[in-house]
Amino acid sequence: MRGAFAKTLVELAAQDDRIMLLTGDLGFMALEIFSERFPSRFVNMGVAEQNMMGVATGLAEAGFIPFAYSIVTFASLRPYEFIRNGPIFHHLPVRVVGVGGGMEYGNAGPTHHGLEDVSVMRTQPGITVIAPADADQTASALRQTWHLPGPIYYRIGKNDKVIIPNLDGRFELGRLQIVREGGDLLLVAMGGITNEVVAAADTLAKQGIQATVAIVSSFNPAPVDDLIRLLGRFPLTLTVEAHYITGGVGSLVSEVVAEQALGCRVVRCGLTTPPLAVSGSQSYLQHQYGISASALVETALRELQGIKTQ
Amino acid sequence: MGLVNGTAIRRIILEQSKRANVGHIGSGLSIADLIAALYGGILNIPSPSDPERDRMILGKGHAALALYAAFYLKGWITAEQLDTFHTDGSLLGVHPEHILPGVDFSTGSLGQGLSFGTGAALAARLQNSSRRVFVLVSDGECNEGALWEAVMFAAHHQLSNLIVLVDLNHQQAFGYTDAVIKMSPMANRWQAFGWDVHEVDGHDVAALQQTVASLDTISGPPHVLVASTTFGKGVSYMESQIKWHYMPMNDAEYPQALEEVGTTAIEVAP
């Protein structure tokens, strides 16, 4: 996703000279295609993310469209109040770009994991929040939204190789995308964990259980109407996110179920405990937190059994 | 004395804070002459909506009443608007909001204004504009670490069109700066970060204006005027007293304050 982001941003910057790229001293082997082509519109802000968001606000007030890039947690949490009081309260087109949602920086440890960014951004009504599922969707989302008048938070992954089958780069603000249809249960995925969700659906299918897989990548605006239509058709929904279960896609789905009085059980799969203080790869940690494909299959089978015995 | 002068600004601060029964009086009186120097001569703002205007950011947003006084004296807001300060639905809150013409950036959270201003200065340079950016911060505000991120960035990029005024009144919300987080010698700190530093009397309007006029805003480092001020300046019982960060005036205190500040008739730009 990171490569797709940089490549698409270069395309857009060639068409519109208001686009700038600021980075908090990150992006080695990723952002050079921008910095080499547009050196005057690229600024390494140093390891100073609060100032990066403040400077982006000042640039945007003067007519620029600055993209401010860092690892998810340094892009969202460290400068959060600057984002709130700056681009959000001033309604300015600053783009906050967080790379590496969830445990993508696995062995780097919890300081580098993005576990609550969608939650804290989604709580602000004044910012568009986008969490693409793969590289092609990242490119589409960027092309469709870069010019919006208000601020945007993009949560993008590091992985450019994984492509979600049947997603075909589809993206629409306020809509979800369905990549697999089945009548037994609904899986709703957010962001880079989607490949595990699709793999879980494949395994379930081999056992005769057919799942629908929906991807929510547009938060603010959220695909509420799509969710209402979809959730009403299933007795069981698993939401899956490489994120705490509070505030992300699990919360969004639960809000819709409760507000619309839909008769669907929601099981939120994601992080429920403080981070493990152990070193681990992305796949190891995802399994520990119950969001690997195999862990999701287990959860789905257990919950389906529970519904049958009720 | 021009229309926008320290005496008129102080009068308005006293009148409005008494009417609204609010504090932050001492903080406003501290910067009255800095605001007079800026809006009475330094700032090039043909109109608050002119994109090529100088930008001015009040980092210490809690002193917004001094700003509103200048806007009134400039004729940007009416007496009726000024009288809405601190009332429900008003554009004139305790801290300045950008929806009020003349306020370039909302402030109130200390330490953010300089980053906004640094971005505004970088934007002016990228757009080959000669507009300048002024940011007025308090000495207590310099406790905020993020402010120094902006200080470092502006010096590294030699943002010569950025001019900071530090309201060096030696006190902050809940104590004197030397007792809370010692910031002195303030000038040396900015100098060590590579800024062009000028130590000035923050109540000498003519000297402030002359100093700013002498600055090279085309090339070289960013500039800081470390302006020595007296908190609560002009009202004897408020000067250098912590309580006047917070307290409103009672009916006995108000007439004395008005008398000490002076009763020069306030004139407003047509």
Residue B216's domain comprises 6-261
CB-based contact A101:A240 (threshold 8 Å): no
Question: Residue B115 and residue A40: Cβ atoms within 8 Å?
Answer: no
pLDDT of residue A309: 78
CB-based contact A196:A292 (threshold 8 Å): yes
B170-186 pLDDT, tens per residue?
999 999 999 999 999 99
CB-based contact B86:B93 (threshold 8 Å): yes
SS3 A62: coil
| pLDDT at residue A123 tops 70 | yes
Question: Residue A58 and residue B119: Cβ atoms within 8 Å?
Answer: yes
CA B41/CA B25 separation, integer angstroms: 24
Question: Residue B116 and residue A57: Cβ atoms within 8 Å?
Answer: yes
A178-201 pLDDT, tens per residue?
999 999 999 999 999 999 999 999
Taking contacts as CB-CB distances below 8 angstroms, the residues of chain B near A61 are 104-105, 116, 119-120, 123
Taking contacts as CB-CB distances below 8 angstroms, the residues of chain B near A81 are 109, 112
Sign of CA dihedral B132, B51, B147, A97: negative
In A35-105, DSSP assigns E strands to 42-44, 65-71, 95-99
CA B15/CA B10 separation, integer angstroms: 9
**Residue among A40, A48, A54 whose CB faces B119 most closely:** A54
pLDDT of residue A276: 87
Taking contacts as CB-CB distances below 8 angstroms, the residues of chain A near B106 are 85, 89-90
Any domain includes B267: no
CA B204/CA A300 separation, integer angstroms: 74
DSSP symbols for B101-139: TT-SS---STT-HHHHHHHHHHHHHHTT----EEEEEET
Any domain includes B90: yes
End-to-end CA distance of chain B: 16
Instruction: Give the residue-averaged pLDDT of B159-176.
Output: 97
Any domain includes B183: yes
How many helices (H) and strands (E) in chain B? 10, 7
**Residue among A64, A81, A89 whose CB faces B106 most closely:** A89
Taking contacts as CB-CB distances below 8 angstroms, the residues of chain A near B150 are 51, 54-55
Any domain includes B266: no
Q: Give the bridge partners for B136, in sequence order.
A: B58, B165
Any domain includes B1: no
Nearest residue of B to residue A89 by CA position?
Answer: B106
Identical topology for domains A2-156 and A177-309: yes
Sorted by sequence, the CB contacts under 8 Å of residue B256 that are 6+ apart come out as B235, B237
CB-based contact A212:A180 (threshold 8 Å): yes
Tell me the nearest-neighbour CA distance from A127 into chain B, angstroms: 17
The answer as to CATH 3.40.30.10 being correct for domain A2-156 is no
CA A240/CA A20 separation, integer angstroms: 34
Tell me the nearest-neighbour CA distance from A169 into chain B, angstroms: 34
CA A32/CA B24 separation, integer angstroms: 49
pLDDT of residue B124: 98
End-to-end CA distance of chain A: 42
Taking contacts as CB-CB distances below 8 angstroms, the residues of chain B near A57 are 105, 115-116, 119
Tell me the nearest-neighbour CA distance from A236 into chain B, angstroms: 45
| pLDDT at residue B47 tops 80 | yes
Q: Which ipTM value was assigned to this complex?
A: 0.96
Sorted by sequence, the CB contacts under 8 Å of residue B248 that are 6+ apart come out as B17, B18, B20, B21, B22, B23, B25
pLDDT of residue A238: 98
CATH code, B66? 3.40.50.970
Work out how many domains chain B is built from and give that number.
Answer: 1
The answer as to CATH 3.30.530.20 being correct for domain A177-309 is no
Question: Residue A85 and residue B114: Cβ atoms within 8 Å?
Answer: no
For the stretch A182-216, what's the b/e string if a residue is b when 16 or more beta carbons lie within 10 angstroms of its beta carbon? bebbbbbbbbbbbbbbbebbebbeeeebebbbbbb
Q: Tell me the average pLDDT of chain A.
A: 97
Any domain includes B188: yes
Confidence class for position B1, pLDDT limits 50, 70, 90? low
Residue boundaries of the structural domains of chain A: 2-156, 177-309
- Give me A18's structure tokens: 């208001």
Tell me the nearest-neighbour CA distance from A192 into chain B, angstroms: 32
Kindly state whether A83 is in contact with chain B, defined as any CB-CB distance less than 8 angstroms: no
